[in-house]
Structure 1
Amino acid sequence: MDFLGLAGKTIVVFGLANKKSVAYAVSRVLVEFGAEVIHVVRGEQQEVAALKLFPDCPVFCCNVEEEEQIIRVRDIIARRINAPLAGIVHSVAFANYSEGMRPFHQTPKGDFLQAVDISCFSLISIANHFKDLLAQQASLVTISISTTRMAAENYGYMAPVKAALESSLCFLAKSFSAFSKVRFNAVCPGLLKTSSSAGIPGYIDSYLFAEQATLRKQAVQTEEAANVAAFLLSPRSSGITGQCVVVDAGMGLNYFDAGIVSKTVA
């Protein structure tokens, strides 16, 4: 039984980088449920990886910082599909940590604006340029974080950028409601082991702490976030829009875990 109703549906996935990326995990679930996945990646290196991981799925390159490239890949996809798109996955984010972490008030303007452009505005631009390719009840899903209200020092300015991304969902859902039933939601996982997270200074220590803060004492797996994304892309989630679905295995409600507290005050 095709419970999710994804079989035969075409879904575009932006952001696959390698086997550790969230976009890979989402794509794998979608393919398992019979969806036809089209990958849009940043460059040739990611294209090679995508073709190796999903040899039966078409792959196109697009630097989302360049609006004309979004339009170009939209036109290419439009010529390939025979039916409207059932969904789009936006798993795109970037922050420049090349010079290490700085106090938030010292965030370089250029770095902050670039992060907003790639991590947030790209969703708005993709939605705008792909709107005519979407089915009336299509679903767009982006990837955020479990909370943007925690000032994690080693995540820097990306939390405010993700907050802007999450706020944008509401405005996109509202503006699209004037002519469609297209939905916009976010999957917001706790700390994951991904290739992009590996580049965040001090991330491993935070990951290990988060694992102990979960109720089950086991970190959230990328596949768990991917399963939620697949649900949000499916008709089974038709009543959900403008929402941020947290997938953190209870980390957000377990700040006063006895084991963590005892080690802190000992």
Structure 2
Amino acid sequence: MQKPLSKRCFTASHARRNGKKGAKPLDAFKGFRAIADGRGFAVHLDNGAMQSATEAREALAEPYRRETHDRNSTHDRNSQRQSVGGVCLMTPLVDLKGKRGLVIGIANEHSIAAGCAEAFARCGARLAATYLNDKAKDWVQPVVDQLGIEWTAPCDVRIPGELEALFAQVQERWGGLDFLLHSIAFAPKEDLHGRVVDSSAQGFSIAMDVSCHSFLRMAKLAEPLMATGGCLLCVTFYGSERVVEHYNLMGPVKAALESATRYVAAELGAKAIRAHAISPGPIATRAASGIDRFDELLDRAAAQVPAGKLVDVSDVGALAAFLVSDAAKGITGTVIPVDNGQHLFA
């Protein structure tokens, strides 16, 4: 279904193009209607004409753009503004136009990775996404089509060489990479549903390899592709620092992932490559359904948070889009909760 875009996309310049000289910014909405068609944005005029998705996106974004300044130079506030016909317009802080992002871990439209991909796409990023295998591809493809993701590839980190082949495609297709989202985790059911002290060596090793060490492998493969810097994201959970009933083995595994993130940030920081672990509150996703009695965890969390409601994948996506943008270039090595305040309580 086609969805109306935010009115913030429009500016006074569009009002003037519509023959309304000196119109106020809000008057720009008269005569225009914008929709998202799954491949990009299109602008419909009241006379029935329509710009292409690319033309519309360029037209809407142009008044906000400003020239890139040397990072070492000093600017006053006026250098962050543009003047269009005497109207001062601020450059949007979260602008991912032209940035290339790899999203690993989309399972279906309800997954955290899908929510992040949607936010990246809305901010103008070019995206590639992975699917676990051919069976899983049928669940991922609707997300790909809806968001206009440029290309996809299989990625099962347990299969030797598959991750390396993925990054070889990134090099071949794009020649570089600006950001990456790691949103995968796995533990054998018999180990996940038992006590941590009863976990098998093999089960523990598999959980660590898929859920944690794969992030380090991705960081290593992404490093040469991020010649001018970039950002690496992964997804964690507050069960890493507190005992959460039924989270079991994934608690120590996520704790390791968070520690790994800090080391990645420290080791790659000299190359302007940043790293973060995003820690959402409990969200009903396909992956979370593997946790025993997860519905009870959701109910407890909803009753505990100050807002009285849980976050969803769009909340996580909004944070992810900010973190990979230039607006967050001074932030790295963090574990950031997006849980409506649940982390405030024991």
- 2:245 match: secondary structure: coil
Q: Which residue in 1 is equivalent to 2:136?
A: 46
Q: Is the 8 A contact 2:191 2:204 kept in 1?
A: no
**Counterpart in the other structure of 1:136:** 228
Q: 1:252–1:100: structure 2 CA closer, same or farther, 3 Å change rule?
A: closer
The residue type paired with residue 200 of structure 1 is: I
The percent identity for this pair of structures is 26
Matched, 1:17 2:110: no
Letter in 2 for 1:197: A
SS at match of 1:54: helix
- The aligned residue for residue 29 of structure 1 is 119
**Is structure 2 residue 98 aligned with structure 1 residue 8?**
yes
SS of the counterpart of 1:92? coil
Match of 1:160 among 233, 252, 256: 252
- TM superposition score normalised by structure 2: 0.70
Matching residue of 2:193: 101
1:115 maps to: 207
Asked if residue 189 in structure 1 is aligned to residue 280 in structure 2, the reply is: yes
Residue 223 (structure 1) aligned to one of 306, 309, 314: 314
User: Which structure has more RCO (C-alpha within 8 Å, separation ≥ 6)?
Assistant: 1
Inter-partner Cα distance in structure 2 for 1:100 and 1:50: 25
Partner of 1:75: 168
SS in 1 for 2:228: strand
For the 8 Å contact 2:112–2:285, the answer to whether it is kept is yes
TM-score (norm 1): 0.90
Cα displacement string for residues 207-233 of structure 1 (whole angstroms, at most 9, x for unaligned residues): 100110000110121211111111111
Equivalent residue pairs, number: 253
Q: d(CA) in 1 for partners of 2:159 and 2:327?
A: 34
Q: Residue type matched to 1:242 in 2?
A: G
Contact 2:107–2:131 (CA<8 Å) still a contact in 1? yes
Q: Which has the larger radius of gyration?
A: 2
8 Å CA contact retained: 1:47, 1:60? no
* Contact 1:6–1:35 (CA under 8 A) maintained in structure 2: yes
Look up the equivalent residue of 1:152 and give its one-letter code: V
Match of 1:260 in 2: none
Q: Which consecutive unaligned segments of at least 5 residues does structure 2 have?
A: 1-63, 65-91
- Give 1:5's aligned amino acid: D
RMSD: 1.6
Tell me the distance in 1 between the aligned counterparts of 2:284 and 2:216: 27
* Counterpart amino acid of residue 40 in structure 1: T
Note the alpha carbon deviations across 1:168-207, whole angstroms, 9 max, x for none. 01111122134x1100001101111111111211110011
Which SS does the other structure have where 1:136 is aligned? coil
Residue type of the partner of 1:182?
I
Structure 1's unaligned 5+ residue stretches are 256-266
Give the corresponding residue for 2:243. 151
What is the distance in 1 between the residues matched to 2:192 and 2:344? 30
| Secondary structure, aligned partner of 1:201 | coil
Corresponding residue of 1:242: 333
C-alpha contact (below 8 Å) 1:215/1:254 kept by paired residues: no
